[in-house]
Amino acid sequence: MSEMTYAQAARLGLQEEMRRDPTVWALGEDLGYEGGMAGQYSDLQAEFGADRIVDTPISESTIMGAAVGAALAGTRPIAELRFSDFAMCAVDELVNQAAKARYMFGGQARVPMVARMPIGIRGGIAAQHSQSPEAWYTHVPGLVVVTPGTPAENRGLLKAAIRCDDPVVYMEHKGLWGVTGEVDENDPSEIPLGVARTVRDGRDITIVSWAAQVGVAAEAAEALASEGISAEIIDLRTLWPWDRDTVMASVARTGRLLVVHEAVRVGGFGGEIAAEVAEELGVPVARLGGERIPIPFSIPLEEAYKIKADRIAARVREMPA
Amino acid sequence: MTSNLTNESARVAAMFRKMLVIRAFEEAAGENFFAGYVRGSVHQYIGEESIAVGICENLRDDDYLTSNHRGHGHSIAKGADPRAMMLELFGKVGGTSDGKGGSMHIADFSVGMLGANGVIADGCTISVGAAQAVKLLGQDRIVVNFIGDGGINRGPFMEALNWAKVYELPVLFVCENNQIAATTTTRLVTAGEGIARRAESFDVPAVTIDGNDLFTVDGTAARVISEIRNGSGPQLIQAMTYRLRGHFAHDDAGYREPGEAEAALEHEPIRRTESWLCENGLSQDELDAMRAEVTAEIAGYVDDAMQADWPDPSLAFTDVQDVGAPNMPGAIS
Ligand SMILES: Cc1ncc(C[n+]2csc(CCOP(=O)(O)OP(=O)(O)O)c2C)c(N)n1
Ligand SMILES: [Mg+2]
C-alpha cells in the first residue's frame, strides 16, 4: 500500500495500462512538459515517447475526432480535454460519432476510447472552467460515464475505462486532485464499471452521490449520526450504467432516498435515480443539486452555489420518516 | 508634463502612460494573486502592452473589441476602468461584473469591450457576428478580435476568417504571436507558415509587424483600421511579441531556454518607447514622475479593492435569465 493523490493514482493507472498494452496512447494539449493540469501525465512522455503521449495543437474537435478515428482503426486512445467546459468544443465528435459508430455500422465498429474531461468547482475559475455536465452524457446512448471518487478508484476505474470496448466519458473532479488515499500498487486489477461503493452503512436513509459531493454527504451523515439518524452513503462511481442493484437494495432497507450532486439540479442525473427508485419502491425520494446558475467567480457567490453538509442534513430531517 | 512637447511626443506620451497602467495593473494582479487576494487564473499581458495600446489608440469608443483569456491589457487599452477591473479580480462589489466573472471574464460594454473569454478562439466567431450586426444596423463601427498564436489552430479561427471574407465584414483580427501557447511552442504544432498565410488563403489581407514597436503598431493600425472603415473587408495583423512571464501568474515558465526571457527584455515595449520619449522631449525626471504616478494610481485601486464589500450571496442568483430565472436558495430544495 502507498499513499498517493487522486492525480498521482490516475497517472499510475495510465502508466500501467500503457505498459500492458502498446495500443494505448493519449492526445491532448500540454501533456509532455506540463504533464497535464494536475500531473496525471507527468514524465509519461519520457517513458513512452511523443507518439504515445502526444502534444496537440489547441484543436479540441480534432482531439476528439482523431480519437474516434484511431479507436476505429485498432488503437485505444485517451482524448484529454482538460476541462469538461472545453470538451464542449468537441461534443459533436463525441455524441454524433463516438457514441453511435458501433450501432450505425451494425456492430462492425467498436470505439474503445476514453474522453477525459474533468468537472467541478476548484475555486475561483468561474463560469467557463467549473461546470459539471455529467448528466448530458448519461443521456446519450452508446456512452459510459464515470466519475471516480478516491485515489484508488481513479486508478482502478481509469484502467477499466481504458479496457472498455465502448467510448467512456471519464470525469475526474478537479477538487479531488490533491486528495490523498491508500493505493495498493501490487494489485493491478481494475475496478469494474457500473459498480457503486457503499461508503458508510446506515439504517434510516440512503444518500446517493458521486465525485467530490460524496465527502460532503459523509460530513452530513456524521452530523446526523449524533442526532440518532443513521444515513447510508453510496458513491455511484459510474453514472452510466449506474448500479441499480446496490441502490435499490439499500433503499429497500432504509426506506428513503436522497440524491445529492454538485451539478445543477434541474435536468441533473439525480432526477433519473430518484424517479427510478420512486417507481420501483414507492418510497419518499428527494434531490439536492446546484441552483440553475452559472458558477460565479467571487468567494461568497461561489460558496452560495455549493451544497454544504448542513443543507444535506437539513434536507434529510425534512423528509418524511 | 513639459508644455513644449510636439503633438507627436504628447500623443506618444499618452500611449506610454497607458502601457504603464497596464504593466502596473498586471504586476499588482500577480502580487495579489500570490498574496492570496486574487483567486483563479491570472494571465498577465506583461511585455505585450504596445499591441493593445497601439491598436486601440486608433479605435473609437463605439468600435467593438473581443478578447481572450489574456484580456486585461486589451480591456484597459479599450478604455475599461482599471479600478473596476481590479475590484473584479478581487471578487468585490464595484468590479466590472460585481465579482461574478473574475479575470477571464472582464467586460465593459460602455466602451465596446464585449468580453474577455475563457474559451480559446471563441472570440473569433463572436466578432464576425458583431460585425454582421454593425452591417445590419448601418453603422460604421469596426470590430477587433485579439487572438493568440495558439488559438489559430482551433476551427473557429478558420471559420471566422472565411465568414468575415464571404460577407465582407468590418473585422480586424489581431494575432498576438508570442510563439507560445501555455507550455507548448506553437511552431511545433502548427503546419505551414501559420497565421498570415492562413488569412491570405481566404483573401484576407495580412501584415506581419513587430508588435513590441509601438510606432509600427500604431501606424499599421491607423492605416488598416481606416481601410476597414472605408469598406476594405476583413484584415489581419500579426503582431510579433514575447510573453515576458509564465502562461499565468503561477507558471514559472521553466520550459524556456536559459537566458531567453532576459534577452527578450532588450526588445520589450516599455523600455523602447521610453527611450524614444527621452530623445523626443521628455526628461528622465518627467518619465519617472509619470511612472510613480501610475504606480500610486494602481496601488490606490488595490487598496480600494481590499476595502470594497464582498457581494451579497443573493447576487449569485441574479442576471441568469428573465423567463425561468433561478430560485433563491432555500425557496425550493
Ligand atoms: C478551447 C480551449 N482550449 C484550451 C484552453 C486552455 N488554454 C488557455 S490559454 C491557452 C494557450 C493559449 O495560447 P495563445 O492562443 O497563443 O495565447 P497566449 O496565452 O500566448 O496569449 C490554452 C491552451 C482554453 N482556454 N480553451
Ligand atoms: Mg501565444
Which of A55, A61, A294 lies nearest to residue B184, judging by beta carbons? Answer: A55
Instruction: Indicate the top mutation candidate among B51, B69, B157 to test ligand 1's pocket, ranked by most ligand atoms within 8 A of CB.
Output: B69
Rounded alpha-carbon distances, angstroms, from residue B286 to B24, B269, B273: 18, 18, 14
Is the bond preceding A241 in cis, omega lying within 30 degrees of 0?
Answer: yes
| In chain B, where the domains are located | 7-314
Q: B255-286: per-residue pLDDT in tens? A: 999 999 999 999 999 999 999 999 999 999 99
Kind of pairing between the strands at B171-177 and B143-148: parallel
**C-alpha cell belonging to residue B85:** 477591473
B185 close to ligand 1 (CB < 6 Angstrom): no
Residues near B325 by beta carbon (within 8 Å), at least 6 away in sequence = B317
Q: What crossing angle do the helices spanning B7-34 and B82-89 adopt, rounded to 10°?
A: 10
Rounded alpha-carbon distances, angstroms, from residue B37 to A53, A284, A298: 36, 45, 11
Chain A residues with CB within 8 Å of chain B CB: 29-30, 33-34, 55-62, 85-86, 89, 123-129, 286, 288, 291-294, 296-305, 311, 314-315, 318
CA gyration radius, chain A? 19
Contact A268, A261 (CB under 8 A): yes
Say yes or no for a CB contact (<8 Å) between B40 and A125. Answer: yes
Give B120 Cα–ligand 1 centroid separation in angstroms.
5
Residues near A195 by beta carbon (within 8 Å), at least 6 away in sequence = A237, A238, A243, A246
CATH number of B7-314: 3.40.50.970
A173 is catalytic: no
Residue of chain B whose Cα is closest to the Cα of A129: B118
Contact B273, B14 (CB under 8 A): no
Say yes or no for a CB contact (<8 Å) between B150 and A299. Answer: no
> What's the pLDDT score for residue B50?
98
Say yes or no for a CB contact (<8 Å) between B118 and A129. Answer: yes
> What's the pLDDT score for residue B141?
98
Q: What is the mean pLDDT of each run of 10 residues along chain A (321 residues)?
A: 97 98 98 96 98 98 98 98 98 98 97 98 97 98 98 98 98 98 96 98 98 98 98 98 98 98 98 98 98 98 97 97 84
> What's the pLDDT score for residue B332?
43
Give A166 Cα–ligand 2 centroid separation in angstroms.
36
| In chain A, where the domains are located | 2-183, 197-318
In sequence order, which ranges of A23-93 are alpha helices (DSSP H)?
Answer: 44-48, 60-72, 84-87, 91-92
**C-alpha cell belonging to residue B96:** 466590472
Give B112 Cα–ligand 1 centroid separation in angstroms.
23
**C-alpha cell belonging to residue A67:** 480519437
Residue of chain A whose Cα is closest to the Cα of B149: A58
Give me the tens of pLDDT residue by residue for chain B, a chain 333 residues long.
555 789 999 999 999 999 999 999 999 999 999 999 999 999 999 999 999 999 999 999 999 999 999 999 999 999 999 999 999 999 999 999 999 999 999 999 999 999 999 999 999 999 999 999 999 999 999 999 999 999 999 999 999 999 999 999 999 999 999 999 999 999 999 999 989 999 999 999 999 999 999 999 999 999 999 999 999 999 999 999 999 999 999 999 999 999 999 999 999 999 999 999 999 999 999 999 999 999 999 999 999 999 999 999 999 999 999 999 998 775 444
Say yes or no for a CB contact (<8 Å) between B310 and A299. Answer: yes
Ligand 1 atom nearest to B122, measured from its CA = 1
User: Measured between CA atoms, how close is A88 to chain B, in angstroms?
Assistant: 10
Measured between beta carbons, the chain A residues lying within 8 angstroms of B333 are 286, 288, 311, 314-315, 318
User: Measured between CA atoms, how close is B332 to chain A, in angstroms?
Assistant: 10
Give B182 Cα–ligand 1 centroid separation in angstroms.
6
| CATH architecture of residue range(s) A197-318 | 3-Layer(aba) Sandwich (3.40)
> What's the pLDDT score for residue A138?
98
A29 close to ligand 1 (CB < 6 Angstrom): yes
Describe the strand order of the beta sheet including B64-66 as a list of residue ranges. B64-66, B143-148, B171-177, B235-240, B206-210
Give B268 Cα–ligand 1 centroid separation in angstroms.
22
Q: What residue owns the CA closest to ligand 1's atom 17?
A: B148
B48 close to ligand 1 (CB < 6 Angstrom): no
Buried b (16+ CB within 10 A) or exposed e, B237-271: bbbbbbbbbbbbbebeeebbeeeebeebeebbbbe
Contact B152, B123 (CB under 8 A): no
Measured between beta carbons, the chain A residues lying within 8 angstroms of B323 are none
Place of cell 483573401: B203
Residues with CB under 5 Å of ion ligand 2 are: B 148-150, 178, 181
> What's the pLDDT score for residue B2?
56
Measured between beta carbons, the chain A residues lying within 8 angstroms of B308 are none
Say yes or no for a CB contact (<8 Å) between A293 and B329. Answer: no
> What's the pLDDT score for residue B4?
75
Among residues of chain B, what percentage have pLDDT more than 90? 96
User: Measured between CA atoms, how close is B326 to chain A, in angstroms?
Assistant: 6
The dihedral region occupied by A247, where left means phi > 0, alpha psi between -120 and 50, and beta the remainder, is alpha
Distance of alpha carbon A6 from alpha carbon A149, whole angstroms = 8
Does domain A2-183 bear CATH number 3.40.50.970? Answer: yes
Say yes or no for a CB contact (<8 Å) between A311 and B154. Answer: no
Best residue in A33, A53, A293, A299 to probe B by mutation, most B CBs within 10 Å? A293
> What's the pLDDT score for residue B333?
40
